[in-house]
Structure 1
Amino acid sequence: MTSAPRTSRPVDVGRIAWVALLVLLLSFLIVPIFIIVPISFGSERFLQFPPRDLTLYWYGKFFTDPDWQAATLFSLKVAAITMLSAVVVGTLAAVAMVRGFKSGQRAVTALTLTPIIVPNIVLGVALYLSYAPIGLTGTLTGFVIAHTSLAVPFVVLTVSAALHRTDPALELAAINLGANKLTAFVLITLPLIAPAMAIAAVFAFLVSFDEAILSFFLSGVSNKTLPRMLFENIDFDISPLIPAVATVLMSVSLLLMSSSQLLKRRKGKVGNGGSE
């Protein structure tokens, strides 16, 4: 008994072309980022790829230089306060959008998501013109307000998605048993959306820590964020110190993004366990 002849599948030239184009575009975006890392370990006083010898000198200079230390600490301080304020404001806005009055839902949504739509350079000009007359430029308060406005939309989107997945009947049951609305929210809903709030906090920290455009408009002589300091030194410093600083920024971002992914997986496992 003879077997049927095998027919070869036709080659999908169009699909291969799209995959090749995708790989080319991703390589164009990603490869320059990873080239920065080996350059930062170069021993020469100028940028060279590949580096002849490897050294940690430029990382040591970054962590010991007073100006870079001040910029790093200021960025961390701004990002930490921004994270806390954005989580509080964004969570309240998300609750108002999902569980609040339906008549004002569109207005709250438009107000909280506007910073995502408006270009950062336009927002920077507007904030500078608003801050300059009242002396908020170059201050910690000014940076926190500006960065919070950028971070709140990410918190709203993340927490809103979590609120849509929670059952409002749980709160109603607690209220029927004698709890007021605030107590029911704190004891029932808040623990359910806590993982989403933690993920939103990571995004808020990253938005603030990596923000560069607003920093150009808001930085003063003394208070400069790390991205602003980085861009200032690019103009006249061609040493591997700049790639070293960029690598540190990238490492912090990757570390926080990895932690947010772990929180997502843990949240998914908890949700699946609860549904079972």
Structure 2
Amino acid sequence: MSGAGRGPAAAGFNALRLAFAALVVAYLIVPLCAILPLAFTGSVFLTYPMESVSTRWFEQLATSDAWQRSIVNSLIVGSGATLLSTVVGTLAALGLRRNLVPFSGVLRSFFLLPMVVPAVVLGVGMQILYARMGLASSYAGVIIAHAVLCVPFVLVNVSGSLASIDPALERAAASLGAPPAAVFRTVTLPLALPGILAGAAFAFATSLDEVVITLFVAGPNQTTLARQMFSSLRENISPAIAAAAFLIIVVTLILALVVKGASILSWMRARREEA
């Protein structure tokens, strides 16, 4: 009787949990579903119903000098910030692994600060610092600023990947005579690669979407796609903004699929090695 009584209660709880999850997903997805179709409108206004279907706004992104420059700048800044933050975040995760460093918890908190400190505060601080260092309105300054925001995402992903590695595997490799560099190259790095790729994907997506700090540290020649979208919103609300948002979301989805594919390939390779 008790088991039978728990059955309907458990089923009701599972249904309630699924309904809540569906509401959360809808809350996140519905705004995107509302704005993205307007990237293909033939009208000059962001309104429903759409008068006609057209790719004119994507053509504007491809032909307008301002939009072209912003897309190229986003690729340059995003690639540089991703590379820099991936290296720094991975090294930080390795250094803080297993609490081997004194005050590792405090150091980890410092690395995660950019996630909780308001972007306006970081932007003002970087603007003052860059003015003294001569990095204001430069590509290097924007890349470093974006990398500061991206490092926490890399650190979290790589730390999670490293935590799942069995230390016995590394000890076994070392006991067979492999030096530390060889253990890292042949054991640690391949097993941590999915986390590193996930961190890099998050870093690139974060850089692609960053606008607040860019407003403080970038000059006219470093206008990114997100900043161009922000400027266009202030000057003239155009469907080109929806087209740019569509491109950003497509790039983000591609990065997510690449990371997922890499994780699946890594898992399949591990299973083959175990067999």
Q: TM-score, normalised by structure 2?
A: 0.86
* Superposition map of 1:85-234 within 5 A: 85-98=84-97, 101-234=100-233
Segment drifting more, 80-89 vs 178-187:
178-187
Structure 1 match to 2:64: 65
- Mapped to 1, the partners of 2:24 and 2:182 lie a distance apart of 51
Structure 2 match to 1:74: 73
Segment drifting more, 177-186 vs 151-160:
177-186
Structure 2 match to 1:237: 236
Structure 1 match to 2:4: none
Q: CA deviation at 1:84?
A: 1.2
Instruction: Report the AA paired with residue 86 of structure 1.
Output: S
- Mapped to 1, the partners of 2:168 and 2:264 lie a distance apart of 26
Task: Look up the SS of the partner of 1:103 in the other structure.
Answer: coil
- Mapped to 1, the partners of 2:270 and 2:174 lie a distance apart of 24
Q: Which structure has the highest helix share of the two? A: 2
Task: Describe the shift of the 1:168–1:91 C-alpha distance in structure 2 as closer, same or farther (beyond 3 A).
Answer: same
| CA-based RMSD | 2.8
Q: Which runs of 5+ in 2 are unaligned?
A: 1-7
Task: Look up the SS of the partner of 2:221 in the other structure.
Answer: coil
Q: Which runs of 5+ in 1 are unaligned?
A: 1-8
Instruction: Report the AA paired with residue 260 of structure 2.
Output: Q
Q: TM-score, normalised by structure 1?
A: 0.85
- Mapped to 2, the partners of 1:18 and 1:167 lie a distance apart of 33
8 Å CA contact 2:194, 2:259 repeated in 1: no
- Mapped to 1, the partners of 2:115 and 2:80 lie a distance apart of 20
Task: Look up the SS of the partner of 2:198 in the other structure.
Answer: helix
Structure 1 match to 2:35: 36
Instruction: Report the AA paired with residue 46 of structure 1.
Output: F
Structure 1 match to 2:5: none
Deviations 1:138-159 (A, max 9, x none): 2111111111111111111111
Instruction: Report the AA paired with residue 125 of structure 2.
Output: A
- Mapped to 2, the partners of 1:107 and 1:183 lie a distance apart of 30
Instruction: Report the AA paired with residue 41 of structure 2.
Output: G
Task: Describe the shift of the 1:131–1:253 C-alpha distance in structure 2 as closer, same or farther (beyond 3 A).
Answer: same
Sequence identity (%): 34
8 Å CA contact 2:201, 2:255 repeated in 1: yes
8 Å CA contact 1:175, 1:184 repeated in 2: yes
Matched residues, number: 269
Task: Look up the SS of the partner of 1:222 in the other structure.
Answer: helix
